[in-house]
Structure 1
Amino acid sequence: MFALAPLALLALAGLASAERVRTSLNDGWRFARFTTNPDSLSYSVLQPWMMPLANDFIVTGTKYPAPSGTAPGPNISYVQASFNDNAWQQVDLPHDWAIAGPFGAPGISGGMGRLPTNGVGWYRKTLTATADDVDGTKSIFLDVDGSMSYTAVWLNGNLLGGWPWGYASWRLDLTKHLRAGNNTLAIRLDNPVENSRWYPGAGIYRNLWIVKVDKAHVAQFGTYITTPAVSTTSATVNLVVQVENLGTATRQVDVTTTIYPLDAAGIPATAPVATIKTTTASLPAGAKLSLNGSATIANPRLWGPPPTQTPNLYLAVTTLTSGTTAIDTYTTRFGIRTITYSPTQGLLLNSERIPIRGTCNHHDLGALGAAYNHAATVRQLTTLVAMGTNALRTSHNPPAPELLDLADTLGLLVLDEAFDCWSTSKTKNDYHLLFPAWHEPDLRSFLRRDRNHPSVVFWSIGNEIPDQGSALAAREGAALTAIVRQEDSTRQVTTAMNAASEKDALPGTVDIIGLNYQGEYGSYAAFHDKFPGKMVMGSETASCISSRGTYLFPVSTSNNARYSAAGGADATTKYISAYELGNPGWGGSADAVFVAQERGSPWVAGEFVWTGFDYLGEPTPYGGNGGARSSYFGIVDLAGFKKDRFWLYQARWKGEQAMVHLLPHWTWPERTGQVTPVHVFSAADEVEVLVNGVSQGRKKKGGAGVYRFRWDEVKYAAGEVVAVGYKGGKEWARDVRRTAGRATGLGVSVERAVIDGDGRDLAFVTVEVVDEKGVVVPRANNTVTFEVAGPGKLVATDNGDPTDMTAFPSASRKAFSGLVLAIVKADKGGRGQITVTAKAEGVKQGQVVITAK
C-alpha cells in the first residue's frame, strides 16, 4: 500500500545498508487518563525546560538558556521505574484517548465533537538499551511526529523537555540519561477544554520513533533540495546538508550524495543518475555546519499531477564518512518540477496550467479519531482522487508527515497550512497562548520538515485570522511571511482570508490572494484589480451542508439556497437535505461556486472546497446543546460513504468521464402523486429523464458552470426512474433508481479483501440493507450487529449520521440511509481468514471473508 520508508527501500534495492537506525516506538505502552490534575504540574511550571528545544528553530527571536535548578517531576511516581502501571490501559501508538467516547463529555462543546479530549494523560514504556547503544559513540533520539498536547518527557526520572503544540513534529536527545538495560520512559500530555474549534484529538496520536546514529550525523530535517533550473533535457539539483557533531572532539567528515530515480512502486534504481561530489568538513565538537552541493540530472523525469502529468520521484542518499567508515546515511525523497504562480493564468506546473480542484480536510479519520492510520488515510485520499480532486488543504494545521508522502506518490498538490490563529484568540485556550513564544520555532520546524515534498506547492501562514483588517494582523502576517521566505524561497505564501478587504494591509503582506467564500459573491475581481501581480484562488469555498441520503421537501427552485425550515433543514431530526443546494449563509452551493469561477473569473487559479470529508466537531447548524457530533460540510460523510455532491464535483472536475448521477432515491410510498423533483448531475450535453418509461423531457446543459439538470415537476410513482446523458447526440451514460421493497437481508462487501496481519492495516466493510431483489432500502435504519471470527477484531463502526451518539467502538449500530460501516483489523502477526458477519433482527444475515497475510 504505497511507499515504504526510504531506508527500507534502500535495502530492497540492494543498495548500501544504512548506518542510521530508525525504529518505531509505537508498540507496548501503558496509558492512564486523569480528568483532574494528578501531579500538580502545568505548562507554566514545565515551560522553562521545554523552551530550549526550540533554539534550533529560532533565528530572529531570543534563544533560551538551559534552566538552572532541579527539573520538575522526579518525585512523581509515574516517572519512576518502581511505579506499578499494571492497572493502566495497554495501548499501541498512534493513540487517541478520546475517540472511544462516550459522547457528551462534560465541558466539551459540539464544536469540539463532544468527546473527552480534556484531561492529563500519562504514557509509560520500558526501553531496553544495549551496551553498544550507550558506548559514547552514538546519539539516541526520540522523534515525535505529533502529540496533543503540552507534551513533556522523562527518562529514568529526568525531565528531558517537551513541546506544547500538538501539531508539531519534534525531537529529544535521550543519550545523556540512557543506560544499558531497562529504562523508564514516561510522557505527560495535558489537554485543556476550549483549545480548538474542531475535534483536536488527544494523546500521542502520530508516530513515535527512536533514531540511533553516530555523534556526527545529518541533523534533524537536515537536507534542503531545490531544483532552480529545469528543462526537458536537464535539471539542476541544489542540496544543502546540515551536519552536526554532538561528540566531544572535532571530527573530519566527508559528505557525498547520490541520487536515484524511484519507480512507480517507490523502489530506487540500482544505479544513480547523479552524484553530488564529496565535500570534506572539519566539524568541531558541538557545532553545526551547512554544506552546499549541486548536480545535474540529464533528461529528468518531472513530478506533476495526473492525469496529464506523472508524479515521478527521486531519492537522494547522503552519506557521511569518517576516514574509510560510513557513519551516517540520510535519505531525502524529492521531485523535480517548475511552478509558476500567474495572476492571469493561475497555477502552472511544468509550464502546464493546472486548475486547482482541491478540498479542505481536517486531520481526523472519522471513527478512528485523530490517531494516524495509513490505510484510512489512503482510503480518504483515493476516494477524493476518484472524484477528480488534485489538491489538498491541510486545514488548519500541519498534517501527519505520512500524508505528504502519500500526496507525493499520488501527485496531489498541497496547500500546507500552519495556524488557525495568531496572537488573537478564537477559543479560550487555543494557539494564541503559545503564539508569542512559539510561532517562530513552530513555523520554522514545520517548513523544514515539509519543504522537500514536491506535493507542497503553497504555504499558508493562517486561516481566517481574527481582525483581518487590523494593523496587528498585517504586522504578524508580514513577520510570518518573512520567516517562510527565509526557509523556502521556491514557493509562494498565502493566508486564507474571509473578512479582509482588498483595501486592508494584510493581503499585501502575502504572495497569493487566498479568499474564503468571498469569491462566490464578486470579491475575486476586486482583489484581482487591486493586486494585478498576484495569483488569486479560492482557499475555501462552498460550505454546502447535507445529510447523506436524506431528501427534504419542498425543494428550493434556486441552485444556491440558504438552508431553512421552509426548505432544506429539519430541526427535529437535525438533518439537512441531500439535494445539495443548502449553504449556512457565509458560503454557497457548489453550483454557485462553479458559475462564479467559470463565467466571471477565468484567471482564478481554482478552489479548495470546504470540505472533502465530514469531520468530528463543528456540526453546523446543530452544534448547540443536544446537537450533533460531527460536520455536515463533507462531500463524503464521516463513514466514507459518498454524498450526492460527490458526483456534482466529479461532473465538473472529471468532465471527460462518462457519468450521470440521479437523485433522489425512488422509494416514497407517502408521496404517490406528489411532486418529487428529480435532479441529475453530469457533464453531458443533454439529459433525458424517464419515469416508468415515460419521458419527462430532454434538457440541455445550462451553460458554463452548470452541471445540474433539474426536473422540478415530476410526480412520484413507484417503479423506476432513469436518467440518460448524451454527448454529441449519442448516449453517453445512464443511471437508474428503483423503488425498494421491504428489507429482507444485509448485503456485505469489503473494499480490500486482503490486508496485512500487522495489527494496523484495516479493512472497511460496508453493509447495505436490501430488499429481496438486492435494492438498497434507502431509509432503512435497522440495528446491525457485527461479529468477527478468526485472527482479527472489530475496531469501530459508523454510519455517517452526524446525530448518532453511539460510541464508535460499539459492535451494534443503526443503519443510516440504508448503510453501516465496520472497520476491522487483523491481530498482530495474524494470518488466515477473518470472517465478518452482520446481523439484524428480521432480515437475513450477511457475511464477508477477509484474508490476513
Structure 2
Amino acid sequence: MNTLILRHFALGFFLILSASCSGPRATIHPTNFNDGWSFSLDGGDWNSVRLPHDWSVSFPFDSIKGEGATGYLLGGVGEYRKTFPTSPAAVSYLYFDGVYNNATVTLNGKELGEHPYGYSPFYYDISKVVNGEGEENELSVKVDHSRYADSRWYSGSGIYREVRMYNEAALHIPPWGVFVRTPEVSGDAASVRIEVQVLNKGPQTQDAKLVTDILDPAGKIVATQTSSVPLEAGGEQGVVQEIQLSNPLLWDVDSPQLYTAVSRLEAGGERSRDYRTTFGVRSFRFDAATGFYLNGTNRKIKGVCLHHDGGLVGAAVPKAVWRRRLQTLKEGGCNAIRISHNPGSEEFLTLCDEMGFLVQDEFYDEWDYPKDKRKNMGESTSTDYITRGHHEHFQEWAKIDLQNTILAHRNHPSIIQWSIGNEIEWTYPRQKETTGFFGADANGNYFWNPPPYSTEKIRSLQESIPRTKYHIGETAQKLADWTHEIDSSRPVIANCILPSASYESGYADALDMIGFSYRRIMYDYAKENYPDLPVMGTENLAQYHEWKAIMERPWVSGTFLWTGIDYLGESNGHWPKKQTTSGMLDLAGFTKPSYFMMKSLWTEEPMIYLTSQQEAKSIFKVENGQVVERKPGAWERALWSWHDVNHHWNYTDGETIIIEALSNCPEAELFLNGKSLGRRRMADNPDHIYKWAVPYTSGELMVKGYTNGASPEYTLQTSSEPAKLSLHTEGSGEEGIVHLIVQLEDANGHPVRHLSRELSFSVSGAELLGVDNGAPTNTSAFQGGKVKTNNGRALAIVRLPDEPASITVTAAGLPEAVFKFGEMGK
C-alpha cells in the first residue's frame, strides 16, 4: 500500500501535547511507578502507600462535617513523595492517568505544572529536570481536595489512577503518538489506517524507518508496513500507513477480537522499543430512522450508566473489582457502558475492550456555570468553599482536558460516542424557562408529559429572553468542534434533560446525535419534529416501561439505564443513607431485582427469578381472587428504585404473601412443597411480572418457567436460626485480589437471608481492603473490619501476597470460619 509522509502532520496535535502535558496508552510497557510512595495528609505523619490510592475511602462516614453529595466522606490536602533513580534514556515522560484533584507536581524542587481536573490524564516531559544518570530524583505531588463537596457524587481523593514512567531514545514515538482506525470494514476485508507521530530530539539528522506489524488476536503477524522517515535534528513528522487485512476477525460485543499494531523505529543499526497499540476491527453507525448498527447488524444498545467508585475500595478500583462487576452486568444482557459523568480510566476502558462493552466516554458534568452539589439540579445556590467545583477552571482548561482525553482514549474499539456534557441545561436559566414546564405557565410534569409549548413558541422565547454571559449552544459547538478536531470517527452526543429547549437553543445543532435524560415521552416528538438527528436514551430507569418504549420504536438506538451499580453520594439530607440506590447491583456488587427484570428483557437464554412480600407491604393486593396493582397503571411510571420485596421464604403461618417472578419465559408455574399453585401466562401481565397470592406455609417455594422445551427453576427455602458461616470466593483473582463472600446458613445449610449478624474479619498474611454488605444505610467504616450482614451476607475484598494467607470471620454465637488461601501471585 502507498505510504504518505506528512511533514506537518498533526502539528496542532503535538502542540497540544507539549502545552497540556498529557499521557500515553497503558499498552506500551512503561516502568512500574506505583510502588515506593510516601503519603502525608494535612501535614501529618508520613506513611508508605501503594498507588493507585484514595485516602477518603479510609475515613469513617461523617454525618456532621460530611456532605451526602460525596457520600459523607471527607477530603483534605495530601502530599505524595517518591524517590527514583534516573534511567539511561534521552527522553523521559512522567504520566498520571488521574489525580483528584487540583494537583501540583514538583520534581527536584522545580514545579512541573498544575492540573485542576480530577478525571483527565496528563504527562510531563521531565528530560531536562531529572538529575544525571543513576542519581536519585525527588518527586512530589500535592493534591488539594479541601473542597471535598465539589462534586455531585463520590470522587475520591488522591492519585487514584496509575502513574507510569516512559524512558525513550532520542528518536521515538511520543505519548499518544499512534492512532489506529478501521475506516472500511466488510466480512472479507478491512482497511487499517495508522497515523504515527515521530520525534527526533537528538542533535543529528536521522534517516529512519517506521516498521509496523499487525498481530491478530492469537499474536500472529498478519501484515507488516515499512515507511521511510527522514527527520532533522529536533524535528517531528507524521506518517500515515494503510494496511489491508483479509478475512479479519471483527470486534463485537459477543466476540471482542483484538488486534495489536506493534510500531518501532530503526535508524543507524539501532532499534527503538516496541510501541504497542491494541485496536479492534469494527464498523458502526447510527441511523435516524432505524437505529444503531454494529458491523452491519442492527441491534439495540442495552446499556447502563456507571460512576467510577468501586464501593468499599473507593475511587482506586483494582482491575479485578471492575471485572467482577462488569461480568455480572454482562451476564444480565448489558452490552454498553456510559461513563458518568467524566472520562474513565485507561484500565476500565481496556476491560471494556476485552469484555465486549460499547462505551460512551463523557467529558463534563459542568460547563460555564456550576451545578448545585447538594440539590443535584438547577443553577448553583451553594456558594461556600467546599462545594466550588471544576466550572471555575472550565474556561481555561476545557479544550485541553477534552482533547487530551480523546488522544488518550481514541484507540479503544469499545468507545462509540464522545459525550460533551450531562444535563447541562439546568445551569443556563433560559433553558428551563423556555420549556413551559416550570413557572407560571407550567401545565404538566416534564418527566411524563410532552412539551406544552410548540417548537415555534420555544424558538421565539429563546430569542426574546435575555441571554447570560455564556450561551449553551455556543459552548456546545466549541466542545463539539474540539472533539472533531482530534477524532471525527465517532459521533458527539450529550445527555439532554430539557431536550425541547435544547433543540431550539443551538445545543442540539452542535451534536451528531442527541441523548434524552428521563424523557422517553419525547421519542415520538423527536421523530415528528427533528427526524434527521439520531436519538437514544442516555439516562433512563431500570424499569420495564423504559425498555418497552425503546423496543416499540426502531429509530431509538437504545438506552443507558441509571444505574448499573449503586454508587456513593447524591444522598444529601438522607443520613444514614450514603449512596444512590438506583443500581441493578448494590454497592457490594450483589444483584437486585431490577437486574433480573432487565435480564428477562435483554437475554434469550431461559431464566426465572423469585421474590416475596407480605401483602400489607406490597405494591400489589388481592382483589376478587386476583393479584392486582394497588394503584392501577403505576408500573408505567415506576422510578429509580425497585419496589420493596424480599429474597426469602420466612413469614408467619397463614399470612397472605405476594409472590413475584421475573422471567423471559412465556409461561410460569409456582409450587409450594411440591404442590402447584397455578400456571400463569406472561401475556396476561402487562407489567412483565408474574404474580401469585399465597397463604404462608414453611418449606420450599419453587417457580418453573416454560419455553421451547426449557424449564428454568428458582427456589426459596424456609430457613431457621443462623448456625454457621459459609465462605466462598468470586471473581477472577487477578492481581491477587479476592472477593470473599460470607453467607449466614442454618444447621441444614440453607441460606439465612431474613436475619442479620455482626461479622468481624481478621486477616493473616494479606491486606484487607475493606468490608461491606451493600446496604445503603450501612455506615460502618469500610476499613474497620466489622459489618452487619444484609440479606444474610457480606463482602470482604482482600489483596493476597505471594505467600499463603488466611482470613478468619467471626460472629457472636456462631463458630468461626476460616478461609485459607494458597500460593497466589499478585
TM-score, length-normalised on structure 1?
Answer: 0.80
Match of 2:82 in 1: 125
Quick check: 409-418 or 715-724, which moved more?
715-724
Aligned to 1:788: 763
Q: Could you say which residue in structure 2 is the equivalent of 1:598?
A: 551
User: Paired residue for 2:728?
Assistant: 749
What is the match of residue 493 of structure 1? 492
Deviation string, structure 1 residues 736-773 (Cα, Å, up to 9, x no partner): 11211111111111125x846xxx52110111111111
Supply the AA of the counterpart residue of 1:700: R
Tell me whether 1:387 sits opposite 2:332 in the alignment. Answer: yes
2:324 is paired with a residue whose SS is helix
1:647 alignment partner AA: F
How far residue 106 of structure 1 moved from its aligned partner, in angstroms, is 5.5
Contact 2:611 2:648 in 1 (8 A): no
1:731 offset after TM fit, Å? 5.5
Shift of 1:707: 3.3
Shift of 1:230: 1.6
Residue type matched to 2:398 in 1?
H
Query: Matched residue of 2:595: which SS?
Result: helix
Q: Does 1:726 align with 2:697?
A: no
Contact 2:60/2:73 (8 A) holds in 1: yes
Amino acid across the alignment from 2:162: N
1:516 alignment partner in structure 2: 517
Mapping 1:172-251, distance limit 5 Å: 172-180=124-132, 181-191=135-145, 192-251=147-206
- Structure 1 residue 598: Cα displacement: 2.7
Matches within 5 A, 1:415-430: 415-426=360-371, 427=373, 428-430=387-389
- 1:769 equivalenced with 2:744 (yes/no): yes
> 1:457 maps to what in 2?
416
Amino acid at match of 2:811: A
Distance 2:231 2:63 in 1: 57
CA distance in structure 1 between the partners assigned to 2:686 and 2:232 by the alignment: 61
Relative to 1, partners in 2 of residues 1:590 and 1:804: Cα closer, same or farther, differing over 3 Å? same
Q: Corresponding residue for 2:540?
A: 541
Are the counterparts in 1 of residues 170 and 200 from structure 2 also a CA contact under 8 Å?
yes
For 1:714 and 1:29, how far apart are their aligned partners in 2? 60
2:61 maps to 103
Amino acid at match of 1:206: R
Matched, 1:810 2:781: no
Q: 1:443 aligns with which of 377, 390, 402?
A: 402
The 3 A distance-change label for structure 1 pair 650 and 740 is same
* Structure 2 residue identity aligned to 1:383: T
Deviations 1:517-555 (A, max 9, x none): 101xx211111222222322110110xxxxxxxxxxxxx
SS state of the match for residue 176, structure 2? strand
Instruction: Provide the aligned length of Structure 1 versus Structure 2.
Output: 708
Corresponding residue number in structure 2 for 1:140: 92
786, 795, 816: which one aligns with 1:845: 816
The match for 1:640 is 589
Could you tell me how far 1:276 is from its partner in structure 2? Answer: 2.5
Shift of 1:166: 0.8
Inter-partner Cα distance in structure 2 for 1:114 and 1:513: 34
Residue 363 of structure 1 pairs with residue 308 of structure 2: yes
Pick closer, same or farther for the CA change 1:669–1:459 going to 2, 3 Å: closer
Q: 1:332 aligns with which of 271, 274, 277?
A: 277
Are the counterparts in 1 of residues 650 and 754 from structure 2 also a CA contact under 8 Å? no
Corresponding residue to 1:675 among 651, 656, 666: 656
Q: 1:434 aligns with which of 393, 406, 410?
A: 393
Aligned letter for 1:678? I
Q: Is the 8 A contact 1:648 1:681 kept in 2?
A: yes
Residue in structure 2 matched with residue 41 of structure 1 by the alignment: none
Q: Give the residue type in structure 2 aligned to 1:358.
A: G
1:93 paired residue among 41, 47, 51: 51
Residues 786 and 838, structure 1, Cα contact 8 Å, conserved in 2:
yes
For residues 189 and 598 of structure 2, the distance between their equivalents in structure 1, rounded to whole angstroms, comes to: 38
1:672 Cα deviation from its structure 2 partner? 3.5
Look up the match of 2:637: none
Deviations 1:130-168 (A, max 9, x none): 5x34xxxx1111110111111111111111113211111
Partner SS state of residue 763, structure 1: strand
Q: Which of 769, 794, 803 is matched with 1:831 structurally?
A: 803
Identity value in percent: 32
Task: Give the CA deviation at 1:784.
Answer: 0.9
How big is each residue's C-alpha offset from its partner over 1:286-323, in whole Å with a ceiling of 9 and x where there is no partner? x43222121111121111111xxx21111111111222
- Which of the numbers 692, 695, 702 marks the counterpart of 1:715? 695
| Equivalent pair of 1:662/1:736 in contact (CA under 8 Å) | no
**Are the counterparts in 2 of residues 651 and 707 from structure 1 also a CA contact under 8 Å?**
no
| C-alpha displacement of 1:282 | 2.0
State whether residues 99 and 808 of structure 1, in contact with CA within 8 Å, keep that contact through their aligned partners in structure 2: yes
User: Which of residues 262, 279, 292 in structure 2 aligns to 1:347?
Assistant: 292
Q: Aligned partner of 2:819: which letter?
A: V
The answer on whether the counterparts of 1:408 and 1:454 sit within 8 Å (CA) in structure 2 is yes
Give 1:105 deviation, angstroms.
6.7
Matches within 5 A, 1:648-659: 648-659=597-608
- For 1:155 and 1:667, locate their aligned partners in 2 and report how far apart those are by CA, in whole Å: 58
CA distance in 2, matches of 1:705, 1:496: 29
Q: For residue 305 of structure 1, what is the aligned residue in structure 2?
A: 253
Q: Determine the C-alpha separation between the residues in 1 that align with 2:676 and 2:477.
A: 60
| 2:237 is equivalent to residue 289 of structure 1 | yes
Residue 659 and residue 283 in structure 1: after superposition, are their counterparts in 2 closer, same or farther (change >3 A)? farther
- Post-superposition offset of 1:353: 1.4
Matches of 1:668 and 1:733, distance apart in 2: 19
Q: 8 Å contact 1:835–1:849 — kept in the other structure?
A: yes
Please list every run of 5 or more consecutive structure 1 residues that lacks an aligned counterpart in the other structure.
1-17, 39-84, 543-588
1:150 is matched with 102
Q: Distance in 1 between matches of 2:277 and 2:697?
A: 62
How far did residue 669 of structure 1 move?
5.9
In the alignment, the residues of structure 2 paired with residue 626 and residue 644 of structure 1 have an alpha-carbon distance, to the nearest angstrom, of 24
Whole-angstrom distance in 2 between the partners of 1:400 and 1:343: 31
CA contact (8 A) 1:193 1:429 kept: no
- Counterpart secondary structure, 2:695: coil
Distance 1:372 1:249, change over 3 A: farther
Whether 1:627 and 2:576 are equivalent positions in the alignment is: yes
Q: How far apart, in 1, do the equivalents of 2:650 and 2:344 lie?
A: 47
Partner SS for 2:212: strand
- C-alpha contact 2:119 2:342 (8 A) present in aligned 1: yes
1:274 deviation in Å?
Answer: 1.6
Amino acid at match of 1:94: P
Pick which of 171-180 and 798-807 moved more: 171-180
Q: What code does the residue aligned with 1:509 have?
A: A
**C-alpha separation between the residues in 2 aligned to 1:242 and 1:315?**
17
Following the alignment from structure 1 to structure 2, what is the Cα–Cα distance between the partners of residues 661 and 454? 37
Amino acid at match of 2:562: W
Q: Which amino acid counterpart does residue 492 of structure 2 have in structure 1?
A: V
2:58 match: secondary structure: coil
Distance 1:102 1:399, change over 3 A: same
Letter in 1 for 2:183: P
| RMSD of aligned Cα (Å) | 2.2
Name the CA shift for 1:511/1:21 in 2 (closer, same or farther; >3 Å).
Answer: closer
Asked whether the equivalents of residues 781 and 816 of structure 1 are also in contact (C-alpha less than 8 Å), the reply is yes
Q: Which amino acid aligns with 1:163?
A: H
Q: Deviations over 1:553-610 (max 9, x none)?
A: xxxxxxxxxxxxxxxxxxxxxxxxxxxxxxxxxxxx51221222234x2321111111
- The AA in structure 2 aligned to 1:101 is F
- Conserved? CA contact 1:416–1:460, under 8 Å: yes
